[in-house]
């Protein structure tokens, strides 16, 4: 069910939610968190679809704050205006979705727009699927959130975005460039947990030129293994975006995990048969669902984005990275 509320207020939206619950019972009360999505007008649906899918694992209230993109011309409405839409039932997965389309002066108070719609005594997660604020933790929505999710790959310069995240990091911050590494990190950790238990002497990481996940994977390996990591960011066509492969050099030989075609990686180890593994590039739904499984700070991400990235850049200055 979809209910449109043109030219409204957050108070009227809240009353409409209560009315829907009383009349139809369509909105369940067992929500575990509030997810606030900040995006631009016309760019809401992909994020809403991902949130609806993730809500089947994490029942929640989704509040979408959609404003005009300041980089695409002057505002269409100089005066303030709020158009809202409530989606429940089959149009909202296992969540309830409130879309707030704000124009003019109304769009300048994002915190005020959502405060009256937050679930009481429930954690708040803020997600910027597109352009991120200058400092997520200090932004109007970031101040009220326990977790703050950005996506470096959606920024104009993904690698500069990582460096900026490193400088502005606060506990509770995370980024989908890190979440996309989960399958790679699990596979590499599993390989190194098997005999022979030898020290890794060299590491090479390769990926697409626009892949911030490749840089974070290199920073994670640099931090965990305490060896210089060579990372090769190129635009060569391998049939796969994102991370292309990892080579770990040990005394007994080289371990290679390479993804030359989409969704499939080949694992080669000395003295072992070659294996093809499912290693897909993770979609928004998978990344969002994983991040919502924990509402406490991701300490490992914090170490990688600050210390690991710093160590990687220091190594680059010493031996140079192929770019």
Q: Secondary structure of 65-81 in the HEC alphabet?
A: EEECCCCCCCCCCCCCE
Residue 233: its pLDDT value, please? 81
pLDDT exceeds 90 at position 79: no
| 29 and 140, same domain (yes or no) | yes
| 245 and 189, same domain (yes or no) | yes
Average pLDDT for 146-166: 96
Lowest-pLDDT range, 98-107, 162-171, 227-236? 227-236
| 143 and 182, same domain (yes or no) | no
| 79 and 212, same domain (yes or no) | no
Does 168 fall in a domain? no
| 210 and 306, same domain (yes or no) | yes
> In the chain, at which residue ranges do the beta strands (DSSP E only) sit?
2-5, 33-40, 60-67, 81-87, 96-103, 124-127, 147-150, 173-175, 202-208, 229-234, 243-250, 253-261, 264-268, 275-278
pLDDT exceeds 50 at position 237: no
Lowest-pLDDT range, 27-41, 156-170, 284-298? 27-41
Q: 42-54 burial by CB neighbour count: b if 16+ within 10 A, else e?
A: eebeebbebbbbb
Of 181, 199, 204, 202, the C-alpha closest to 290 is 181
| 97 and 46, same domain (yes or no) | yes
| 182 and 288, same domain (yes or no) | yes
Does 171 fall in a domain? no
**Coil/strand/helix, residue 316:** helix
Q: How confident is residue 144, by pLDDT bands cut at 50, 70 and 90? A: very high
Does 165 fall in a domain? no
**Residues 48-71 pLDDT 10s:** 999 999 998 989 999 999 999 877
Residue 155: its pLDDT value, please? 95
Q: How confident is residue 213, by pLDDT bands cut at 50, 70 and 90? A: very high
Average pLDDT for 210-218: 95
pLDDT exceeds 70 at position 29: no
Residue 319: its pLDDT value, please? 52
pLDDT exceeds 70 at position 189: yes
| 136 and 186, same domain (yes or no) | no
Does 161 fall in a domain? no
pLDDT greater at residue 112 or residue 260 = 112
Question: Are 153 and 178 contacting, i.e. CB atoms less than 8 angstroms apart?
Answer: no
pLDDT greater at residue 260 or residue 141 = 141
| 19 and 99, same domain (yes or no) | yes
Does 133 fall in a domain? yes
Question: Are 125 and 135 contacting, i.e. CB atoms less than 8 angstroms apart?
Answer: no
Q: Rounded CA gap, 159 and 248, in Å?
A: 24
Average pLDDT for 204-230: 94
Does 156 fall in a domain? no
pLDDT exceeds 90 at position 276: yes
Residue 321: its pLDDT value, please? 41
- The CATH number of the domain holding residue 299 is 3.30.360.10
Percent of the chain at pLDDT > 70 equals 91
Residue 46: domain span:
2-150
Average pLDDT for 274-284: 94
| 107 and 208, same domain (yes or no) | no
| 24 and 124, same domain (yes or no) | yes
Q: How confident is residue 240, by pLDDT bands cut at 50, 70 and 90? A: low
Pull the structure tokens for residue 13: 């939206």
pTM for this predicted structure:
0.91
**Residues 81-136 pLDDT 10s:** 999 999 988 777 767 999 999 999 999 999 999 999 999 999 999 999 999 999 99
| 14 and 134, same domain (yes or no) | yes
Does 166 fall in a domain? no
Please tell me the total count of domains within the chain: 2
Does 160 fall in a domain? no
- Domain boundary residue, one of 89, 115, 150: 150
Residue 320: its pLDDT value, please? 47
Q: How confident is residue 73, by pLDDT bands cut at 50, 70 and 90? A: low
């Amino acid at each position: 069910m979809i209910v449109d509320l043109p030219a409204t207020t957050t108070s009227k939206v809240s009353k409409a939610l209560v009315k829907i619950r009383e009349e139809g019972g369509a909105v369940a009360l067992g929500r575990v968190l509030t997810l606030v999505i900040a995006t631009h007008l016309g760019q809401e649906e992909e994020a809403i679809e991902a949130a609806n899918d993730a809500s089947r694992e994490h029942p929640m209230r989704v509040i979408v704050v959609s404003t005009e993109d300041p980089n695409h011309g002057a505002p269409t409405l100089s005066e303030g205006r709020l158009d809202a839409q409530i989606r429940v039932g089959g149009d909202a997965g296992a969540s309830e979705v409130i879309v707030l389309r704000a124009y003019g002066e109304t769009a300048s108070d994002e915190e005020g727009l959502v405060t009256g719609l937050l679930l009481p005594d429930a954690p708040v997660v803020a997600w910027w699927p597109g352009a991120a604020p200058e400092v997520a933790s200090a932004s109007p929505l970031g101040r009220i959130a326990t977790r703050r999710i950005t996506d470096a790959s959606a920024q104009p310069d993904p690698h500069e975005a990582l460096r900026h995240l490193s400088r502005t990091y606060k506990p509770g911050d995370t980024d989908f460039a890190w979440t996309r590494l989960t399958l790679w990190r699990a596979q590499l950790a599993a390989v190194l947990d098997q005999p022979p238990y030898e020290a890794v002497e060299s590491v090479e990481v390769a990926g697409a030129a626009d892949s911030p996940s490749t840089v974070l994977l290199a920073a994670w390996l640099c931090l965990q293994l305490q060896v210089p990591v060579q990372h090769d960011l190129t635009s060569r066509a391998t049939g796969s975006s994102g991370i292309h492969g990892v080579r770990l050099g040990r005394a007994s030989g080289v371990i290679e995990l390479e993804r030359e075609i989409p969704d499939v990686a080949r694992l080669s180890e000395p003295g072992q048969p070659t294996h093809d593994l499912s290693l897909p590039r993770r979609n928004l739904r998978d990344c969002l669902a994983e991040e919502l499984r924990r509402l406490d700070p991701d300490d490992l991400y914090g170490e990688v984005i600050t210390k690991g990235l710093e160590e990687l850049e220091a190594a680059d200055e010493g031996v140079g990275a192929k770019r």
